[in-house]
Structure 1
Amino acid sequence: MSFTLAIVGRPNVGKSTLFNRLVGKRLALVDDQPGVTRDLREGDARLGDLRFTVIDTAGLEDATDDTLQGRMRRLTERAVDMADVCLMLIDARTGVTPVDETVADILRKRGRHVILAANKAEGRAADAGIIEAYGLGLGEPIRLSAEHGEGLNDLYGQLLPLSEEFAAQTQSDTPETDITVDEEDADADAVRVPTRDKPLQVAVVGRPNAGKSTLINKLLGEDRLLTGPEAGITRDAISVQMDWDGLPVRIFDTAGMRKKAKVQEKLEKLSVSDGLRAVKFAEVVVVLLDAAIPFEQQDLRIADLAEREGRAVVIAVNKWDAEEEKSEKIKMLREECARLLPQLRGVPLVTVSALTGKGLDRLRQAIEKAYETWNRRVTTAKLNQWLSGMVEAHPPPAPGGRRIKLRYMTQAKTRPPGFVVMCSNPEKMSDAYSRYLVNGLRDTFDMPGTPVRLWMRSQSEANPYKNRTKSTPSRLRKHLGKGRADE
């Protein structure tokens, strides 16, 4: 990327809409109510032949105390400091407000390069607001409509000379290409080693106020994500890339997931949906519990969702520093985990403190091991030798008096491990026997906690007369009978 562009302005001027327009995807949540965006969201933007990083920021408000709005303002000011270019948006239909003047004052003092744009500028109703924008002292405003994609050519004209300036300063950087060689495609079964270009995808999920954002901030060593005592602060699923003691990781902070019946507001539904999308794209899902109230019904639903999506799962119990009877509590937690999550038998359970940082090294080891297990492949020879022993120890059921025969077994896929068993009457195989085989696979081949898929398939020989009419077999029987008589 040649430079970084931060979109700044007061609430509800269309910053997230423009962010989505530049990245070409609906990454940021958009709603009519002000103050939807709270965290800094980064994305890879494309405008003509320009490639750059764009940052969507929270709306700047006139608050400098330790309230939620004050913390959001400090986070936005941090984005202004780290960005190469700041794009200030105003609402052309509303005109310049006192908050706009405060934002402009901040950008004049802290911004390196500032571009002014008047959004929602389609139609004559915006003319008066555009004229007022000249009074901010940030130069000629760009007439823009993020919703309809108007005015992007003018934005391109302002960014082009700046991009050339930044490119001249970073000539030593390796140029990016649109064509990459994916070594994983050459051997689909090989375990993908996380790299800086393709880091390990980790999603942190849980109920509101479990400490997800605080945990990620502790890993990063900085206040990158908005935190506080209020529940439900995080709305967008924010991803940050980091090097975790030599392990390249892209970690997703997600919104707290409450019970479906309690989620009534449209915005919260969008936040939860964004978190679910992060789970689907993740490789390892960390389910974060509150040590004071662990394994609530919603915690179990979230863990079950990750298992159904086929992701590697790690259970992390946060706020462990506040526990007094640690030895008794950890014993209880392990028993509850085994009883309430049988579908994730043996799932790693790690105690951590996002506030102090204790246990984060164990969490990293658990994530790395869960990822390795998620990619585990077992040879066919070992599987069939194991299957013979399992059948001998506990034969399969015999519905209708006819024993189901398990003939052959092989691994069909990884991520998560999936196995196919060739047998007779697969539709009559009981769920209990399938669970017996899955648990045996976990124990024998060291696959604790990871989702294991098992499919029963029929290997019966095809009947050559299956699609013949009824008269054809009768003529064959007569012919065969005549042949026997001649003999």
Structure 2
Amino acid sequence: MTATVAIVGRPNVGKSTLFNRLVGKKLALVDDTPGVTRDRREGDAHLGDLSFTIVDTAGLEEADAESLSGRMRAQTEEAIRSATVVLFVIDARTGLIPMDRHFAEMLRRIDVPSILIANKAEGRLGEAGAWEAYGLGFGDPIALSAEHGEGMADLYAALMPYVDAADAEAAVTDVPLDPRETAGGEDEDEDEEAAAALARTIPLRICVTGRPNAGKSTLINKLIGEDRMLVGPEAGITRDSISVDWEWHGRPVKLFDTAGLRRKARVQDKLEKLSVADALRAVRFAEVVVVCLDATIPFEKQDLQIVDLVVKEGRALVIALNKWDLIEDRVAAWKKMRETCDHLLPQVRGVPMVRLSGLMGEGLEDLMKAAEAVHRTWNRRISTAKMNRWLEGVLERHPPPAVSGRRIRIRYATQVKARPPHFVLFCSRPEVLPDSYTRYLVNDLRERFELAGVPLRLSLRAGDNPYHDKNQRR
């Protein structure tokens, strides 16, 4: 079992900056505004030869349990209880304040090993605050600067006993099995079965995105069966893109919760711009994107723009109609939404739509089945022989039009890439082939090979003309 290190402290003491320093990437949002972090965020940290899981948490604040700040504090307390050791961070420049002493008492009650960190200790101004930290009774504080990387050697020495102990426990309990003992028999499986089995061992990366207050975090909490994400009636609670490791029917899944995407013109605040950029990054690195729509007000203009963004990024797509439990006439509503989807989203015709309720837990199995099916389609490869048999039939039914009195000749087609499927069509004068005929080819290709729910790329290339430099050769 890998050691888990939680970073806690009051707001704006540099917890997310320290998190980014330890993971070696700018994963957590950092801003001068207090209270930027709300959900707890995990990452793989490395400090010298130490490797452990680091958890960034929301700033500790005294608040009512039902308020947003109270729910954030509950998330932080859960992270503390599940941690191997806690890094208690204070601001050395500000010095100790009553809130620091209050939460120091809370850490003592929970009884988890704690390491006191006096952050922002660079320069003379931070030196006095580092000495003042002795008053908390946690032993020698570690004076460091997460921003500039000072004091990391002292942090390494303080963490070594806890991380080494967890690694030793893992070495005893996680003994790998001998492959010969787990072999099913003497005969080897077919290549396709082996490839499918290998694919199921690789985590499926699913990103859940959509407009604010569409129920994304509630949906993920219901999927994984725990209150991992901060939820509530307020719009825009989620700020960071939070990843969660999960398993569905034996297959590893990596779920990404993202901040709600509003219209670009309405995004003025610097912090919201950072949240949107983090959400777009999660979409780019996902394999399947679930666009969560509010079933009571579906297919708003912003919903269509989000779907178009997913298509341009080339991700597999599933549309989730959340809050389906609030719909009264479900048969009529489903028929209307299906027609609306096919009309407004022709670029992903036949995209899977799932009716669900994240709050009630309805339709979750259908959502995961749709995500796995569209992922297989996204990875699909079609042989050149099948492609050209399809092309021959298409040209017989509807040959390309003549442009300027000259017929365009389409010679052959092939698939050059998957994830998403990318096809190349070799023809004469590709620059003058009408867009309408290209759309006809894409739509027929999608229907013939059942490529619904994934964006298709079709490139046109001109074949080599053997008579191009005939006069020069003479």
TM-score after normalising by structure 1: 0.91
1:262-317 deviation digits (Å, cap 9, x = unpaired): 00000000000000000000000000000111000010000010001000000000
Paired position in structure 1 for 2:188: none
Paired position in structure 1 for 2:187: none
SS, match of residue 229 in structure 1: coil
Paired position in structure 2 for 1:324: 328
Q: Give the alignment of 1:133-148 within 5 angstroms.
A: 133-148=133-148
Q: Are 1:448 and 2:452 an aligned pair?
A: yes
CA contact (8 A) 1:194 1:248 kept: no
Paired position in structure 2 for 1:32: 32
Shift of 1:462: 4.5
Shift of 1:61: 0.3
CA contact (8 A) 2:51 2:163 kept: no
Of stretches 21-30 and 392-401 in structure 1, the one that deviates more from structure 2 is: 392-401
Paired position in structure 2 for 1:6: 6
Paired position in structure 1 for 2:413: 409
SS, match of residue 139 in structure 2: coil
Query: Could you say what the CA RMSD is over the residues aligned between the two structures, in angstroms?
Result: 1.7
CA contact (8 A) 2:211 2:260 kept: yes
Paired position in structure 1 for 2:77: 77
Larger of the two Rg values belongs to structure: 1
Paired position in structure 1 for 2:159: 159
- Between the aligned partners of 1:247 and 1:304, the Cα distance in structure 2 is 29
Paired position in structure 2 for 1:182: none
Paired position in structure 1 for 2:132: 132
One-letter identity of the residue aligned with 2:231:
T
1:182-211 deviation digits (Å, cap 9, x = unpaired): xxxx99xx6785455x30000000000000
Q: Are 1:347 and 2:351 an aligned pair?
A: yes
1:112-140 deviation digits (Å, cap 9, x = unpaired): 21000100000111122112211111111
One-letter identity of the residue aligned with 1:4:
T
Q: Give the alignment of 1:210-221 within 5 angstroms.
A: 210-221=214-225
- Between the aligned partners of 2:128 and 2:200, the Cα distance in structure 1 is 52
CA contact (8 A) 1:352 1:360 kept: yes
The gaps in structure 1 that reach 5 residues or longer are 177-185, 477-487
CA contact (8 A) 1:410 1:421 kept: yes
SS, match of residue 171 in structure 1: helix
One-letter identity of the residue aligned with 1:84:
T
Paired position in structure 2 for 1:42: 42
One-letter identity of the residue aligned with 2:449:
F
Of stretches 448-457 and 71-80 in structure 1, the one that deviates more from structure 2 is: 448-457
- Between the aligned partners of 2:200 and 2:52, the Cα distance in structure 1 is 21
- Between the aligned partners of 2:116 and 2:467, the Cα distance in structure 1 is 75
CA contact (8 A) 2:408 2:428 kept: yes
CA contact (8 A) 2:117 2:142 kept: yes
Paired position in structure 1 for 2:231: 227
One-letter identity of the residue aligned with 1:373:
T
- Between the aligned partners of 1:24 and 1:111, the Cα distance in structure 2 is 30
SS, match of residue 172 in structure 1: helix
1:155-186 deviation digits (Å, cap 9, x = unpaired): 0010112222223333224489xxxxxxxxx9
Q: Are 1:265 and 2:269 an aligned pair?
A: yes
Of stretches 241-250 and 266-275 in structure 1, the one that deviates more from structure 2 is: 241-250
Structure 1 moving runs of 4+ over 6 Å: none
SS, match of residue 170 in structure 1: helix
Q: Are 1:87 and 2:87 an aligned pair?
A: yes
- Between the aligned partners of 2:468 and 2:403, the Cα distance in structure 1 is 27
Q: Give the alignment of 1:302-341 within 5 angstroms.
A: 302-341=306-345
Paired position in structure 2 for 1:183: none
- Between the aligned partners of 1:234 and 1:191, the Cα distance in structure 2 is 35
Q: Are 1:289 and 2:293 an aligned pair?
A: yes
Q: Give the alignment of 1:387-466 within 5 angstroms.
A: 387-463=391-467, 465=469
CA contact (8 A) 1:242 1:250 kept: yes
Q: Are 1:247 and 2:254 an aligned pair?
A: no
The gaps in structure 2 that reach 5 residues or longer are 177-190
Aligned residue pairs: how many?
A: 458
TM-score after normalising by structure 2: 0.94
Q: Are 1:121 and 2:125 an aligned pair?
A: no
Change (3 A) 1:442 1:398: same
Change (3 A) 1:136 1:268: same
CA contact (8 A) 1:62 1:102 kept: no
CA contact (8 A) 1:287 1:313 kept: yes
- Between the aligned partners of 1:48 and 1:364, the Cα distance in structure 2 is 39
User: Alignment partner for residue 363 of structure 2, among 347, 353, 359?
Assistant: 359
Paired position in structure 2 for 1:482: none
- Between the aligned partners of 1:435 and 1:111, the Cα distance in structure 2 is 64
- Between the aligned partners of 2:443 and 2:365, the Cα distance in structure 1 is 29
Shift of 1:374: 0.5
Change (3 A) 1:378 1:220: same
User: Alignment partner for residue 208 of structure 1, among 205, 212, 234?
Assistant: 212
Q: Are 1:169 and 2:169 an aligned pair?
A: yes
CA contact (8 A) 2:84 2:162 kept: no
One-letter identity of the residue aligned with 2:137:
G
- Between the aligned partners of 1:252 and 1:192, the Cα distance in structure 2 is 24
User: Alignment partner for residue 380 of structure 2, among 376, 379, 394?
Assistant: 376
One-letter identity of the residue aligned with 1:312:
A
CA contact (8 A) 1:236 1:255 kept: yes
Task: Work out the percentage of aligned pairs sharing the same amino acid.
Answer: 60
